[in-house]
């Protein structure tokens, strides 16, 4: 595939994942400075095409690499990026928006601090669409973050820059967060492992837990299940929510045979694209061959779930705009907001009297979510309703109502876990006829990341994930 954007070179990083890179640094086989220098060279090679870096901090990263010691954390010296919606001292935090002046912030916030505490060396900030409100990292000026498997396609969103950098091989792992699928959607688009943790599993941004429904979870974009599992274990050692069971370090497949429900219909009721559903059907066949019991299950819908989520999403656009104006003052320019944010704000103002009822129904949806796991250990579904789209299909400059329709049709499954708070994981499936990887989605009961990761290891071993540096 000559159109792939591949950063894998014969350098200090090689083809290792984050755990492998950290191990080689700890053993002295390579140094942190060699790993970071290699990552910078890789970013310089691929980013002119991918446009995945929002803000660079290469000089500070080189200083941090020279100071890195194995005692800094289990991922000491591993180069990585933070998403552009967490605050890291010395770098701007613009949330993907041209309305925010790129002024370096003075302090690191809680989710960024927890991520960095694992020893990662931060090269900069990865790109995202404005306030993470759309499922493709595209901007009103026509620019976009591109998919390394084929630059004519979307890298997903909102952690699109992180996914493009990891999938291309520029860095082994990158920070992301997920408020409606923002880790799992780009993981699906770019052939990565995307774990969305249980609500409250990791540190949240300030004020998140005061929201009527806290949709967001912090995490990482990874190429291997091993990285997802070890990253979560490392984060858990930094902060463990006393209201959730510990996950610990999941190191491989579980011997336990599971009861797995298959969800074939998204809450919207929009039919899944046949090629996309075929990816899930192939996974169901594999699960059966591996000895798991599989039957049908319905996702919670509540009748109004999609409309309620869209209204709450619009409410969040209003909250974020007000918050940024309050915090940034003269460095925030509301007239520069892109059409999607403006459209969502206008939609909320038209329907604002329906907000209380929508919030009440969204909070009640967890009852139906929990009920799914009375008879099932996991639920499998497509990650998305449709294949990864070409750039432009979800452009923020489209007619707002048409774009909203396309987004709701495309996303399909992922918001359920943000609404209800349960953990889920997107896993790659083999390449389709378009040369892009597919994806399948597993959900678990609250606090049960361990079962997700155990099965993910088993599927990875039974059907190895496609890697962009594989030569066909």
Question: Alpha-carbon distance 424 to 187, whole Å?
Answer: 12
Question: Cβ of 92: how many Cβ atoms within 10 Å?
Answer: 20
Question: Alpha-carbon distance 461 to 427, whole Å?
Answer: 12
Confidence at residue 66, expressed as pLDDT on a 0 to 100 scale: 98
Whole-Å CA distances, 406 to 62, 327, 439: 42, 33, 19
Residues assigned a catalytic role: 83, 158, 182
Question: Alpha-carbon distance 140 to 338, whole Å?
Answer: 6
Residues shown for the chain: 472
Domain ranges of the chain: 18-462
* pLDDT average per 10 residues of sequence, the chain (472 residues): 84 97 98 98 98 98 97 97 98 98 97 98 98 97 97 98 98 98 98 98 90 96 98 97 97 98 92 96 98 94 84 96 94 97 97 97 94 97 97 97 96 95 98 95 98 98 95 49
- Here the tokens at position 268 are 């919207």
Question: Cβ of 449: how many Cβ atoms within 10 Å?
Answer: 30
* Among 44, 78, 37, CA closest to 59: 37
CATH topology of domain 18-462: Amidase signature (AS) enzymes (3.90.1300)
DSSP state of 216: -
* Among 123, 101, 103, CA closest to 47: 123
DSSP state of 424: E
Confidence at residue 1, expressed as pLDDT on a 0 to 100 scale: 42
Q: Are 410 and 171 in contact (CB under 8 A)?
A: no
Q: Name the β-bridge partners of 431.
A: 437
Q: Which helix (H) or strand (E) holds 439?
A: strand 437-444
Confidence at residue 2, expressed as pLDDT on a 0 to 100 scale: 56
What's phi and psi for 381, nearest 5 deg? -155, 175
Question: Alpha-carbon distance 130 to 140, whole Å?
Answer: 10
Q: Name the β-bridge partners of 126.
A: 53, 83
């Amino acid at each position: 595939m000559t159109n792939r954007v591949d950063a894998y070179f014969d350098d200090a990083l090689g083809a290792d994942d984050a755990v492998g890179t950290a191990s080689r640094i700890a053993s002295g086989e390579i140094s942190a400075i060699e790993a970071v220098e290699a990552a910078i060279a890789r970013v310089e090679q691929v980013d002119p095409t991918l446009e995945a870096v929002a803000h660079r901090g290469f000089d500070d990263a080189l200083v941090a690499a020279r100071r890195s010691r194995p005692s800094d954390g289990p991922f000491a010296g591993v180069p990585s990026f933070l998403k552009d919606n967490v605050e890291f001292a010395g770098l701007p935090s613009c949330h993907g928006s041209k309305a925010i002046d790129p002024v370096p912030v003075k302090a690191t916030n809680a989710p960024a601090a927890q991520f960095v505490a694992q020893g990662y060396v931060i090269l900069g900030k990865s790109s995202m669409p404005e306030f993470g409100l759309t499922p493709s990292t595209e901007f009103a000026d026509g620019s976009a973050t591109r998919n390394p498997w084929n630059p004519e396609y979307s890298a997903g969103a909102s952690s699109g820059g992180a996914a493009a950098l990891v999938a291309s091989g520029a860095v082994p792992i990158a920070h992301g967060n997920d408020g409606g699928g923002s880790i799992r959607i780009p993981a699906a688009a770019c052939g990565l492992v995307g774990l969305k943790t249980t609500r409250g599993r990791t540190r949240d941004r300030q004020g998140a837990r005061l929201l009527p429904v806290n949709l967001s979870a912090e995490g990482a974009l990874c190429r291997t299940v091993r990285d997802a599992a070890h990253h979560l274990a490392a984060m858990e050692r930094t902060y463990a929510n006393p209201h959730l069971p510990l996950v610990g370090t999941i190191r491989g497949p579980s011997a336990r045979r599971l009861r797995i429900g298959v969800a074939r219909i998204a809450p919207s009721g929009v039919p899944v694209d046949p090629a996309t559903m075929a990816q899930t059907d192939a996974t169901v066949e594999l699960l059966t061959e591996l000895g798991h019991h599989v039957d049908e299950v319905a996702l919670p819908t509540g009748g109004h779930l999609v409309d309620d989520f869209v209204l709450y999403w619009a409410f969040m656009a209003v909250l974020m705009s007000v918050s940024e104006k309050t915090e940034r003052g003269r460095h925030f320019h509301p007239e520069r907001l892109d059409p999607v944010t403006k459209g969502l704000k206008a939609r909320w103002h038209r329907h604002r009297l329906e907000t209380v009822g929508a919030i009440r129904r969204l909070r009640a949806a967890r009852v139906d979510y929990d009920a799914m796991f009375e008879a099932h250990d996991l639920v499998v579904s497509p990650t998305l309703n449709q294949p990864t789209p070409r750039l432009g299909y979800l452009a923020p400059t489209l007619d707002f109502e048409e774009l909203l329709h396309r987004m709701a049709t495309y996303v399909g499954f992922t918001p359920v876990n943000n609404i209800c708070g349960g953990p889920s994981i997107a896993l790659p499936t083999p390449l389709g006829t378009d040369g892009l990887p597919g994806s399948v989605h597993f959900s678990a009961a609250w606090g049960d990341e361990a079962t997700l990761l155990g099965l993910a290891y088993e599927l990875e071993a039974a059907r190895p994930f496609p890697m962009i540096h594989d030569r066909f």
